[in-house]
Amino acid sequence: MDYSGNTMSDAFNALKERLADFTHLNQAESVLSWDQETYMPEGAVVDRGEQLATLGKFAHELFVAPKTGRLLRDAAKEDVVAQNPDSDEAAIVRVTLRDYKKERKIPVAFVTELERTRAQSHQAWIEARKASDFKHFEPWLVKMVDFARRYADLQGYKEHPYDALLDSYEPEMRTSLVRKTFAELRAGQVPLVRAISEKAGTNSDALLHGHFPREKQIEFAKHVSQQFGYDYNHGRMDFAAHPFETSFSARDVRITTRLYEDFFNPMLFGTLHETGHALYEQGVSNAFAHTPLEHGVSLGIHESQSRMWENLVGRSHEFWEHFYPELQVIFPAQFGHVALNDFYRAINFVSPSFIRVEADEVTYNMHIMVRFELELELIEGKLKVHDLPEAWNARYREYLGITPPNDAIGVLQDTHWGIGLIGYFATYTLGNLASVQLFEQAQVDIPGLRDHIRAGNFAPLLQWLRMHIHQYGRKYTPDELMVKATGKSLSAQPYLTYLKQKYSQIYGL
């Protein structure tokens, strides 16, 4: 076999060179997507769609070419891979081969069409959200749902077409298991929500609403994210319609957030959330650089990191024992007269709300269940896109007891459907479950972890996550990683216990 002058024993190195080319094309595509979300002028959307389509086509053609398959097969036979199945080299071959088999099923014309359409669909979502007009976005969502169905048919599935979509974000997860998990959560969380509702009036988040100057919010949020360990020398923070984190490599990991001067929560907790994602990406081992493994293993595990830093750390009493005096100095008029316990209760205020990313911990999963169930109905053809706003509002009335007053804070609030990310939402709840399970294990392994947080020392937790989660990138499956880190597969019970204990204390249940 010709490896451009290399011998047969160099197949793995030749494979890595090819994967580097593929990865760099994907990274360039990501840069253009990040720019579209942050700085691109609206009038450039059609051209950007063409640019993304071209890069997507080239990357896909390079990756699924027969040469890639030959390199994978030959590299798998080399001693460095064959004799060391748990090595990083073997993982690169194994995971890439899985990706290769999946991508080979997708025609290049499909990839090009999807990328071109996705850019325009996303812009239509932005415009529709601004105008609170679902009809403006409706024809594009019809296309996105059609792409999702076609993708599922191309990939194939054993139980449900949604399995093929879910696997893209949470490898080896099944729709049936998500349904079972959600049923267990619903049974545990609904009584808690009702119990807290009976205590209505005993808590409020009113003190978080007022005037919070933009620059002071930015200053504090960046300070906390740096204390967590986010490396701004290899990252940056910008603003977007919907907060997100994006990683071009472990050495260029960026976050976005959004800010309201009349509400304290979105900027800070949105930044902490995206920082959690960024810390994961910045911690991936250099052994996986320029390969498909240079990212988090799944969106559920990814979300466990963001929710851990946002909620288990950022909304903990210990965290604010350290940071609240600083916050009072930055916002003396707003918080100088407010006791720490009153502030703590306010940031953990439970109340049904319209916006998922600003939802409290107790009701958050209800938002995810709504989206998961509606996606299933769209894919199954039981629900037409035209009827989605009505179905959305009905589900919010049923699960949260509230009805969105308009499309902007209802069916149009999330960016995911605009860019065709169907099969994604369940991972948010899976991440909630994993965050608690991992944090509990970290407490076992790190004596006095809460005291470290109380002292503003986040290095022990970050180092534990680097060792048990971050460094591995996509080396292991999500389940393998959870078992490796905690000794158990993912379970809903630790999360339910955490919610009950925390909020029983806050609300005196």
Residues carrying an active site annotation: 274
The answer for residues whose C-beta is within 8 angstroms of residue 262's C-beta and 6 or more apart is 209, 210, 211, 212
Under 8 Å CB-to-CB from 390, ≥6 apart: which residues? none
Helix axes 265-282, 459-468, angle to 10 degrees: 50
474-505: string of b/e by CB count within 10 Å (b at 16+)?
bbbbbbebbeebbeeebbbebbbebbbebbee
Mention every residue, 6+ apart, whose C-beta is less than 8 A from residue 384.
none
3-class DSSP string for 129-170: HHHCCHHHHHHHHHHHHHHHHHHHHHHCCCCCHHHHHHHCCC
Dist. CA 475–CA 93, nearest whole Å: 10
Separation between Cα atoms, residue 155 and residue 310, nearest integer Å: 35
Structure tokens at 161: 């077409």
CA 267 to chain CA centroid, nearest Å: 17
SS3 state at 189: helix
Tokens of 271: 């930044």
List all residues 6 or more positions away from 484 whose beta carbon is below 8 Å from its beta carbon.
468, 476
Round to the nearest angstrom and report the end-to-end CA distance of the chain. 70
Which residues contact residue 96 at a Cβ distance below 8 angstroms, ignoring those fewer than 6 apart?
15, 19, 72, 291, 292, 293
Tell the residue number behind the tokens 């990406």, with chain if given: 281
* CA separation, residue 22 to residues 27, 171, 397 (Å): 9, 21, 46
Edge to edge, the sheet with strand 245-249 lists: 237-239, 252-257, 245-249
